[in-house]
Chain A
Amino acid sequence: MRIVFCGVGAIGSTAALLCRNLDATLVFIDFDRVESKNLLSQAYVKPSVGKNKAEALKLQLHNLHGVKAESFGVRLTRDNVETLCKGADLLVDAFDNQDSRQLLSDFARKAGTPLVHGAVSADGTFGLVRWDERFVPDAEDTQGQATCEGGEHLPFLGLLAATLARAVQDFRKHGVKRDAFVHPTAVTPVPT
């Protein structure tokens, strides 16, 4: 199985690490670079600062965990989405903006590829894991809205990433698609 993580920031990078036990090829797509401030909320380590996030995560998985992965250090666009995602058996959306989520959703629906989304509110008090059949990307309240990159919400982000990884693993092992609400103190399965 080929699992493609689109966006490997706080949620994507942490969820990907929690999928390293799977008998699957993990693939990472992200154009961004690791900054020092990311070390507080994302799964990156100090030697990765300055590297492309997709490449850095691939190297960390290989060097620290002995797991092989693939990486594409590019921005996902309408021109390359098919090339990058067409071989996927499962897509995982952890992007940080509405346009990229919509682009991925459009591709997944057209290609018939399963897609699960992980998303978090700006104030770090709520997140959800939802399969694409029931997902509509939310817009930011204001463009460029500040996010919680300072590590303040790290336990909550870990909870959300773990819930996303659980959804990936349940799909991989049992073929089920479970949605969930994630609050700072609880994970609630959502009836579907």
Chain B
Amino acid sequence: MATINITFDGRSADVPVELERMISDTDVRRIAVELVRSGGVPGLQRFELREDAFQHYVVDRFRGAHGEERIYLRPKVPFGAC
């Protein structure tokens, strides 16, 4: 079991997912679009979400405290002095 955390439109939510293999960043973005469209992400449902909504988003991958896979899909954060 892995967890995808999606940050979008000022909100963030965890979604547990079953992954049988390592998935690419492109796959993460595609899956996230489907999850958000379908209402699978608590508080983040958007029926009309564009296919490329997460095109410029960053995928971070970490291991949790118990070794579980955590995948974060988030906006870029290039700034500190805006």
Contacts and interface: CB of A to CB of B under 8 A. Distances in A.
Interface of A: 7-12, 32, 41-42, 93-98, 118-128, 134, 136-141, 145, 147-149, 153, 157, 181, 183-186, 188, 190-192
Interface stretch (B3-11, B21-29, B32-40, B46-54): B3-11
B65 interface: yes
A11 B10 contact: no
A57 B62 CA distance: 36
A144 to B, nearest CB: 11
A140 B7 CA distance: 18
B4 to A, nearest CB: 14
B76 A184 contact: no
Contact of A120 (B12, B56, B60, B82): B82
Given A126-B10, A181-B7, A96 B75 contact: no
Contact of A96 (B7, B11, B72, B80): B80
A12 B76 contact: no
B82 A122 contact: yes
A42 B62 CA distance: 33
A116 B60 CA distance: 17
Contacts of B77: 119-121, 126-128, 138
Contacts of A191: 62, 64-65, 70
B10 A185 contact: yes
B10 A118 contact: no
26 contacts: A9-B81, A10-B81, A12-B81, A41-B82, A93-B80, A96-B81, A97-B78, A98-B78, A119-B77, A119-B79, A121-B77, A122-B78, A122-B82, A125-B9, A125-B75, A126-B10, A134-B62, A138-B76, A145-B78, A147-B79, A147-B81, A147-B82, A148-B82, A153-B82, A185-B11, A191-B65
